[in-house]
Structure 1
């Protein structure tokens, strides 16, 4: 059978035989010579194949046997003898075999529809015998043949190459299979000698992706030779042809540039900081720059920069680690942009009318909401023509990490004009799934109208993303991203902890704050400085990445650094409506919380002036969160000491303001596994609330007592508000001449009113009124007492008298007025 169709691999290009599988050698002794020959060919045992082919030719003359013998001889290195076996033979099988052995290019045979680029030989086994008795090669065998050739040519094919093979080659099998002849067949199947136009097949799958090998030169402008050699080693490992251009200036090696297509220039510096942590550690900041140039002409194509800071006890190791880390990140970025670089090299000969350059900053996934309002990078557009471009629009798409492409309408770009625009990106919460610092690929698409025709440019640009716990303390406000009062885990714990507290004698917010701090201790949470990146060190170092936990993680792990505990405590406080701020002092952070007590009530707050801060019209108290597990009183005292120590240097970061810029991420939905009750807290911190209350009462009494009779009158009111009515009466009676003081008598009446002794209250009100008949407030109190005694008439009489003094009292006491006149 003759089927002259497609192509094969020349022996000069690929001097081998393609096989699908080897034939097992444990066959019965009844094997024929044809089956033994087939087995030898499939096993690539060329000596055995020569042996059996020669024996069979002694028995019969067959063009296929001559072709097999010649090909097997050529594979044993006896090319001259192989061609002699084919001498004078003109059948198409012999001609194709001769072309394969000689590696002939552009094979033209009468039996071929078109010249074959190069010919390769393939021995294929098929378990089916369809048409083999008639010398017919089935389509299934032809497809199997082409697949063998493809996967031998492409050991690790790309997705694009596989797609092209399926679409271009398998859809036109006859264009690539030149011929095929059965060598042997039996009940188990058949073995064929197939001829393929491998040159055409290779071109078909390479079209559109295969380029000449990119030749790269690497030169160190400033830095250590060993790091250049490491870069070269890495590039070669990725399959690039790399030449070491040594150390020096780029412009001084023009002769060497002729041997490369592009040059990577390296610049590295290391800045060593002061000793920290008692002189045991030092920070090293590596500043590495990698600039990519085209070699001819020399033109800057890409500039990559990185700064990496390492804190290490060993100077040499710290410096090397910092530099290596920077180079690893830069190489990773280089690999992801290599496609764009190659594209730029190709465009040098035909300059694009619109130049597009994209530069992304490092992205912190914990702050992913930030980038919707603030730039994640910039894009530069340059119109290189004398024509204006209209309708310039760009979009950014990032698979998986943004739901919809971010779109920016620029409008018209005048001729010769260059513009630079910020790039905002609306990431989704899936970016929190990134568990290691890595690059993600963005697709930037620019469309514009040039002379009435729509044009489009698409390029890929990598974005370096830090995993969700990473944070650089260049702006301490970023801690707001880790304060999560709406997290159900936090809400559950905070709500359970403050439930049941209705204690008098202390600010409601102080009672809640104390309960929440105690709950943290009951949960078993403790402070431990991060051994790898202690906040005391990294917070003051520029560019060093810290590891910060989310509050729910600190609860689960039961341990945290000062920043972790601060974000946890602030989250708990905010969850129950208490405003917080973060106090930032050198190497440390702690919490400042709003008591809700107005500045005007400062004297009644009841604690020493050095224990609190006046802010925004209310009293705030500092709490040292690293004392978690101790009492709230101790944490408050230590926080006050720290605040006083750093007075003038401390920076206050209000959560509400910081949150406007750094929103907390949307964490996966989860409920608290364990909560703490009032009973749990009071069992561990027994009597603390009562001690704080007594301390406050004593402090207020001492301060007010120092103010004379007016201070004592205020003390009466204070005691009355706190429910200490007997103490209020004692103070009132202790005031010299109290029976002649309308203000004291009126307040004494109020105390008895609260004790529900309305007759006694009325007596003191009327005594006060006799001393001061112009005080409408006393008249209102008399009216109220009469109402409690059931005398509406007298109540109305005194209320009307009050209105004659001040008509506004009607609106002020509208409830009482309605009750009296109802």
Structure 2
């Protein structure tokens, strides 16, 4: 490179050229060079050694150079030993110094004439203002270097010198360099694939009658840690010089793992999807190289992974920073044989990268962690229970859908397609299936709820359906999963009263908060929270009628709430963070459903009595006048009990034959029952009794729309607008709402047929 090396300073020769480059090598290096100068028998030898010490910011070096000539009559030798150090003050600035020892000798016929020796000093600086720009300064033979002879005379053989260098890398692999001192040096180097290098340069004197220009070129090849170099130097008047160099570069890992911190210890298998959505470990990485360095960081957690989780990170040059690394577990993390057991494991972090074309690896064992079996959990954060709520589980889905499908007629005719009705059917299904509440003898919830560090055991809903026995947390997550499968939102109720720890749940009734008095006997039956009306259920009473569980749930909630000992957990919100585990329940036979089970019969009767009380409260606990029966009929209709509603309305009409509102409401009942022709008859009868009435006429228009006669429906709607312009422009909205009110997803499959005898038994 024409001797332009003061700013390049990228191998062991920097000991002589600029000791400030030593810490930037980041490696141990041995180098040797030999040349026959100008093919004149003048041998030049060089040997150097560099070693980083203490830290990546400090390095030392030592070299020996020799120039000699010997033709058996006349001989001359000049040897120099350099002892150098370099220190990186800042990632953009380094300095270095060299102590040199010189000794010379001249011989004639084997007799020495003029042995001499002396000491000199060099200083160097290296500045890196930009990523691709370097500047170097060399101060040589400070104060001049003298040698002393045997006769105690001395002589200055090297005067003080100064050299300024600059190098620039315009593209990856290409370096341009220039040095300026007593002459100027220009050079370039191109490195191909970190293996093959090509160099060229020139140097020329500033002064003299005939400045001499020396052209040079060279190449090198690298194999792992060994580099072989060849250099060619052309002199205008002398023979060319050929140089051969051999270097051994023992590159240390430029990346080290300084710290590792796992975000979760112990590790709960059931929270694996939550862990996968958050940073899992924090890894401190140190890069001592001078360039951006892409590295692959991998994490392996035994028993939870088949293969390590890997991420690519780019480390800034000369940096020491912490990085958040995620995690991805094996697909069988909850289903493998190991998933049932607790394990003490030692996670491991590995960092792999390329350094000079060579693969490098840093690795570090982390602190041991407990990996707990799939059923383990603590109550340090009650929201974590959401990871056991699995509404999409195939067994949960099959159980919920089969019972709701079979009892669709009951849901429609007795429970008005309400969320309450769905809750009753599923709760009684669990009791009929044979589920039993049993306190976990090893970790009873009552005892451990206060201890936030104690490990509790929770079953996945599918496993609970198979085992049929569990604690309050098992029953709560199962019932919550079944309701969630139907799209009904739930909240878990975490009771943290000392000595009375418990968990139960409530589900969304679908009723608006301002309609509690309309659809419930008493406000204490429900919980109004987050703009919803919730029905509390004591899941541990499984096997008893739903109404018993509802009553107990309401009492428990109101008692604990009054003492501020209950924490309402939104399963929807908690599940968004603590995602349900990827648990797969092995297939199992579904319970045989045949007729109405005793629990459901009892709840249908209790629901009827409960509703009857609501109706009687509506009419002031009296049924005297036709208007009382009308109000009762309207209330029954609001609950979807059309048979009872029609009985009340017909009684009202028997007492008061001209009662257009009652006649119209009978028409509405028939519309809800999808008996459209009969409905229209009653609407027309109501109009005869009342004369023009926009509301009654609108019901006729809606009923025609429901039959599919959209043209006639539009015509009737236009007549409504003529009577009452307030309906103008609302056709689509009104017809859409009417259609939506009757839109029901009727599941396919076997359904209960309600016979007359069964109907009579339920009505008794």
TM-score bracket relative to the smaller structure: 0.5 to 0.7
Tell me the distance in 2 between the aligned counterparts of 1:542 and 1:809: 57
Check the 8 A contact 1:391/1:447 in 2, yes or no: no
Check the 8 A contact 2:387/2:578 in 1, yes or no: yes
Partner of 2:611: 696
Q: 2:395 aligns with which of 486, 489, 492?
A: 489
Does residue 391 (structure 1) correspond to residue 313 (structure 2)? The answer is no
Check the 8 A contact 1:485/1:575 in 2, yes or no: yes
Partner of 1:574: 484
C-alpha distance after superposition, 1:640-669 (max 9, x if no partner): 001101124422212222222222223345
Q: Secondary structure at the match of 1:553?
A: helix
Check the 8 A contact 1:395/1:406 in 2, yes or no: yes
Q: Secondary structure at the match of 1:529?
A: coil
Q: Secondary structure at the match of 2:511?
A: strand
Using a 3 Å threshold, how does the CA distance of structure 1 residues 792 and 633 change in structure 2: closer, same or farther? closer
Q: How big is the shift at 1:477?
A: 1.6
Does residue 460 (structure 1) correspond to residue 365 (structure 2)? The answer is yes
Does residue 590 (structure 1) correspond to residue 504 (structure 2)? The answer is yes
Q: How big is the shift at 1:710?
A: 9.6
Tell me the distance in 1 between the aligned counterparts of 2:455 and 2:467: 21
Does residue 776 (structure 1) correspond to residue 694 (structure 2)? The answer is yes
C-alpha distance after superposition, 1:135-156 (max 9, x if no partner): xxxxxxxxxxxxxxxxxxxxxx
Q: How big is the shift at 1:746?
A: 4.6
Check the 8 A contact 2:626/2:655 in 1, yes or no: no
Tell me the distance in 2 between the aligned counterparts of 1:639 and 1:521: 17
Check the 8 A contact 2:545/2:599 in 1, yes or no: no
Tell me the distance in 2 between the aligned counterparts of 1:778 and 1:649: 52
Check the 8 A contact 2:492/2:506 in 1, yes or no: yes
Partner of 2:270: 366
Does residue 629 (structure 1) correspond to residue 543 (structure 2)? The answer is yes
Does residue 610 (structure 1) correspond to residue 524 (structure 2)? The answer is yes
Check the 8 A contact 2:391/2:481 in 1, yes or no: yes
Using a 3 Å threshold, how does the CA distance of structure 1 residues 782 and 438 change in structure 2: closer, same or farther? closer
Q: Secondary structure at the match of 1:725?
A: helix
Unmatched 5+ residue regions in structure 2?
Answer: 1-251, 739-764
Q: Secondary structure at the match of 1:700?
A: helix
Check the 8 A contact 1:429/1:665 in 2, yes or no: no
Tell me the distance in 1 between the aligned counterparts of 2:711 and 2:387: 63
**More deviation, 451-460/663-672:** 451-460
Q: How big is the shift at 1:796?
A: 9.0
Q: How big is the shift at 1:553?
A: 2.8
Aligned length: 457
Q: Secondary structure at the match of 1:446?
A: strand
C-alpha distance after superposition, 1:451-481 (max 9, x if no partner): 8976431233344311111111111121122
Alignment map for 1:112-123 (pairs within 5 Å): none
C-alpha distance after superposition, 1:483-514 (max 9, x if no partner): 22222222232233333222324253222222
Q: How big is the shift at 1:689?
A: 0.7
Check the 8 A contact 1:440/1:464 in 2, yes or no: yes
Q: How big is the shift at 1:532?
A: 1.8
Does residue 645 (structure 1) correspond to residue 559 (structure 2)? The answer is yes
Tell me the distance in 1 between the aligned counterparts of 2:403 and 2:695: 42
Q: Secondary structure at the match of 1:592?
A: strand
Does residue 657 (structure 1) correspond to residue 573 (structure 2)? The answer is yes
Tell me the distance in 2 between the aligned counterparts of 1:458 and 1:469: 32
Does residue 525 (structure 1) correspond to residue 435 (structure 2)? The answer is yes
Q: How big is the shift at 1:734?
A: 6.7
Unmatched 5+ residue regions in structure 1?
Answer: 1-349, 818-822
Tell me the distance in 1 between the aligned counterparts of 2:436 and 2:661: 53
Tell me the distance in 1 between the aligned counterparts of 2:604 and 2:666: 29
Partner of 1:725: 646
Tell me the distance in 2 between the aligned counterparts of 1:353 and 1:726: 85
Partner of 2:719: 801
Q: How big is the shift at 1:388?
A: 6.0
Does residue 378 (structure 1) correspond to residue 282 (structure 2)? The answer is yes
Partner of 1:406: 309
Does residue 506 (structure 1) correspond to residue 415 (structure 2)? The answer is yes
Using a 3 Å threshold, how does the CA distance of structure 1 residues 784 and 450 change in structure 2: closer, same or farther? closer
C-alpha distance after superposition, 1:426-450 (max 9, x if no partner): 1123333323321334442224567
Q: Secondary structure at the match of 2:380?
A: coil
Check the 8 A contact 2:396/2:462 in 1, yes or no: yes
Does residue 766 (structure 1) correspond to residue 660 (structure 2)? The answer is no
Q: How big is the shift at 1:683?
A: 3.1
Alignment map for 1:253-272 (pairs within 5 Å): none
Tell me the distance in 1 between the aligned counterparts of 2:385 and 2:356: 51
By percentage of residues, which structure has more helix? 1
Check the 8 A contact 2:424/2:603 in 1, yes or no: no
Check the 8 A contact 1:598/1:618 in 2, yes or no: yes
Check the 8 A contact 1:712/1:732 in 2, yes or no: no
Q: How big is the shift at 1:399?
A: 6.2
C-alpha distance after superposition, 1:210-254 (max 9, x if no partner): xxxxxxxxxxxxxxxxxxxxxxxxxxxxxxxxxxxxxxxxxxxxx
Q: Secondary structure at the match of 1:646?
A: helix
Q: 2:386 aligns with which of 480, 484, 497?
A: 480
Partner of 1:756: 678
Partner of 2:326: 424
Tell me the distance in 1 between the aligned counterparts of 2:353 and 2:395: 49
Check the 8 A contact 1:393/1:448 in 2, yes or no: yes
Tell me the distance in 2 between the aligned counterparts of 1:400 and 1:621: 42
Check the 8 A contact 2:619/2:632 in 1, yes or no: yes
Tell me the distance in 1 between the aligned counterparts of 2:737 and 2:453: 66
Q: How big is the shift at 1:535?
A: 1.1
Check the 8 A contact 2:626/2:652 in 1, yes or no: no
**More deviation, 433-442/795-804:** 795-804
C-alpha distance after superposition, 1:686-714 (max 9, x if no partner): 33212212311321331354899999865
Using a 3 Å threshold, how does the CA distance of structure 1 residues 787 and 765 change in structure 2: closer, same or farther? farther
Using a 3 Å threshold, how does the CA distance of structure 1 residues 601 and 700 change in structure 2: closer, same or farther? farther
Check the 8 A contact 2:476/2:539 in 1, yes or no: yes
Q: How big is the shift at 1:545?
A: 1.2
Q: How big is the shift at 1:715?
A: 4.2
Using a 3 Å threshold, how does the CA distance of structure 1 residues 710 and 579 change in structure 2: closer, same or farther? farther
Does residue 554 (structure 1) correspond to residue 472 (structure 2)? The answer is no
Check the 8 A contact 1:390/1:412 in 2, yes or no: yes
Tell me the distance in 2 between the aligned counterparts of 1:389 and 1:815: 62
Using a 3 Å threshold, how does the CA distance of structure 1 residues 562 and 676 change in structure 2: closer, same or farther? farther
**More deviation, 538-547/723-732:** 723-732
Partner of 1:440: 345
Partner of 2:90: none
Check the 8 A contact 1:488/1:672 in 2, yes or no: no
Check the 8 A contact 2:510/2:533 in 1, yes or no: yes
Check the 8 A contact 1:529/1:560 in 2, yes or no: yes
Using a 3 Å threshold, how does the CA distance of structure 1 residues 726 and 382 change in structure 2: closer, same or farther? same
Tell me the distance in 2 between the aligned counterparts of 1:643 and 1:427: 39
Q: How big is the shift at 1:528?
A: 1.8
Check the 8 A contact 1:604/1:700 in 2, yes or no: no
Q: How big is the shift at 1:603?
A: 3.9
Q: Secondary structure at the match of 2:390?
A: coil
Alignment map for 1:20-419 (pairs within 5 Å): 354-360=256-262, 361-383=265-287, 385=288, 387=290, 390-398=293-301, 401-402=304-305, 404-415=307-318, 417-419=319-321
Check the 8 A contact 2:493/2:568 in 1, yes or no: yes
Partner of 1:251: none
